[in-house]
Structure 1
Amino acid sequence: MDVDAVASDLYGLVPAEFTAARNSHVARARAAGDAEAARRIAGLRKPTLAAWASTLLVRHRPEETQRLLQLGQALREAHRNLDGARLRELGHRQHAVLAALARQARDIAAEAGQPVGDGVVREIEEILRTVLTDEQVAGRWATGVLDKAPTASVGFTGLEPGPAVVPTPPESSGATARKGEPEERERKGEKKGEEKRKEEEKRKEEEKRKEEEKRKEAVAAARREAERRDRELRKAEEARDGAGRRLAQAEDRLADLERRRRETERVRDRAREDAEAAARRAREAGRAAKAAREALERLAGSG
């Protein structure tokens, strides 16, 4: 059994259909004697709504998917090269791309019969953001098999250039022209202004960094909570499935007992009929024996 093909099929289903379909594949693998495939398929986890909806883009929007992967590659390359200008250019593009793709995923999910709310749309956008910043996540997402939101990469913020990748602003042409001017006070004033601008830029970058850290902490906390809820959901589903199996077994036993009861009643009824018939024959035989004795006695008396 091709486990990868089975996984691709399963993760393309609406999440509500996942567990029953997975169990069916496990049963078929076991019936075929493929214990390893059965084990691997049984280990596949039901996807969260956001993870499933995000991979709908891979299945239904291949061109947009390819453009997103290319954008992520370009962002990571610009980050490696410390290309602040390129990062800013791509960063502005990615905001619009992520929002548009998250909306498309929502629409495709609705067409598949699984509406999603605004909270799930935001989770989808976070998943796609991680696809941009993490090459390994991008590769996994592109297979269309994803059971939960991946942990965001800490090595690349990726969306806006951080302090480490912002180049020092070039000296203005006016300042260059003033290099040769003799007025010492003007040079000092220009130097102080430049220092002030750098301090202001540094302060803004620090605020931006702190805000980004807060956002990441909030996203990480929300993701942990979602993962905890997913674990609780999986446990509840497993308990439900186990209870369902026990109920089915009990119903089978009850049906078997009912069949046995009906059969026993039929045997009892036949035995009762046989007993009544035997009793009738015994009474008739008794009457016949009595008549025979009386006849014998009459004959013996007359002699």
Structure 2
Amino acid sequence: MDLESIADELYGLPPTDFIGARTRHAAAARTAGDRDLAGKIGALRRPTLSAWASNLLVRGEPDAVVGLLRLGEGLREAHQELDRKQLRELSGQQHRLTAALARQARQLAADAGHPVSEEVQREVELTLHAVLADPQAAQEWAVGHLVKPLTPPVGFPAAAVSGTPQRAAGSPSPRSGRPAGRDDRDTAKSPDRSAKDQRREAERMKKLTQARQAAETAGQQAHQREDELRQAESERDQAERQLHEAEERATALAQEVKAAQEHQREARSALDQARHRATDAARTARTARGGAQAAHARAERLEADEK
């Protein structure tokens, strides 16, 4: 196996299993004579719980991953052009989506047999905000080999609504949804400049539309996963109730079986005693019959002698 395949395997394991598996792979590489690979394997760091949960999300929800990456790309490209209203709208979509995906990551961890805390879930959500804000973070996350949670940059609207694009010094505040820095001088632009601005605006609107569509798609997928989560939790609760009822029935039946076994032992003991008494009575009866027969014989002999 190459380093990439080994890393894929290791970062899919719970953190508690990481060190042992890494040691085995490094030892196998050394045995095969590949000391360089063994050294690289040994340098792989064990992930934190939140990094592991984030890696599970990448592996378990590929459609949501694609939607989040597209949304982040559109947001980053449109960020400098958006007005405050648009930022608030998209920021709300981002927070809903990242919160839903963080909950899904927590459920995936529980399904893998290692439940995580709300604090870990919050770290996953911060990682997802970083993915939206930073293309390098997005690329690192999408590989599925995180070793620690990512931190979103300050000022990006995914991390805070206060991340409204900054205006140049002395420029007027945006009005009526117009981007900052545009004023009445637009009327003095040349036709070529105006056409260029129109193309730029059209491209900006296209990217904004794509970002909104990506957010909507990813949000729908997240809602679907939440519905599936609620259904799974309902089925789990029902199964737990059924198990509890079955255990209660098993306990009652076990008590009944125990009582029946005790009754059986008592009946067997009574039968044994009755058999002993019957044997003793039969022996006594035989003795009595023998005595009676002997007495009868003596009486007959006496009668014969008298005659």
Do the aligned residues in 1 keep the contact of 2:154 with 2:163 (CA within 8 Å)? no
Normalising by structure 1, report the TM-score.
0.53
Overall identity of the aligned pairs, in %: 51
**Local SS of the residue matching 1:119:** helix
Q: Which amino acid aligns with 1:47?
A: P
> Unaligned regions of 5+ residues in structure 2, if any?
178-307
**Local SS of the residue matching 2:69:** helix
Query: Is residue 2:9 matched to residue 1:9?
Result: yes
Q: Which has the higher contact order (CA 8 A, sep 6+)?
A: 2
Do the aligned residues in 1 keep the contact of 2:84 with 2:164 (CA within 8 Å)? no
- Aligned residue in 1 for 2:203: none
Report 1:72-87 matches (<5 A).
72-87=72-87
Tell me how far 1:161 sits from its aligned partner. Answer: 5.1
- Aligned residue in 2 for 1:269: none
Question: How many matched pairs?
Answer: 172
**Local SS of the residue matching 2:130:** helix
- Aligned residue in 2 for 1:117: 117
Q: Which amino acid aligns with 2:163?
A: G
- 1:83 and 1:19 map into 2 onto residues whose CA distance is 49
Do the aligned residues in 2 keep the contact of 1:75 with 1:132 (CA within 8 Å)? yes
**Local SS of the residue matching 1:116:** coil
Tell me how far 1:90 sits from its aligned partner. Answer: 1.5
- 2:145 and 2:165 map into 1 onto residues whose CA distance is 35
Report 1:64-75 matches (<5 A).
64-75=64-75
- Aligned residue in 1 for 2:24: 24
Query: Is residue 2:109 matched to residue 1:104?
Result: no
In the TM superposition, what whole-angstrom CA distance separates every residue of 1:97-132 from its partner, at most 9, and x where no partner exists?
Answer: 011001100111000000011111111111111111
- 2:139 and 2:164 map into 1 onto residues whose CA distance is 28
- 1:171 and 1:46 map into 2 onto residues whose CA distance is 51
Q: Which amino acid aligns with 1:148?
A: K
- Aligned residue in 2 for 1:133: 133
What is the CA RMSD across the aligned residues, in angstroms? 2.2
In the TM superposition, what whole-angstrom CA distance separates every residue of 1:148-183 from its partner, at most 9, and x where no partner exists?
Answer: 1124334745442535448834369xxxxxxxxxxx
Tell me how far 1:35 sits from its aligned partner. Answer: 1.0
Q: Which amino acid aligns with 1:170?
A: R
In the TM superposition, what whole-angstrom CA distance separates every residue of 1:60-90 from its partner, at most 9, and x where no partner exists?
Answer: 1001111111111121112133554432221
- 2:146 and 2:165 map into 1 onto residues whose CA distance is 33
Is the alpha carbon distance of 1:75 and 1:29 closer, same or farther for their aligned partners in structure 2, counting shifts above 3 Å? same
Normalising by structure 2, report the TM-score.
0.52
In the TM superposition, what whole-angstrom CA distance separates every residue of 1:32-72 from its partner, at most 9, and x where no partner exists?
Answer: 11111111110001100000001111101001111111111
- 1:87 and 1:161 map into 2 onto residues whose CA distance is 10
- 2:46 and 2:55 map into 1 onto residues whose CA distance is 13
> Given the alignment, which residue of 162, 172, 175 partners 1:170?
175
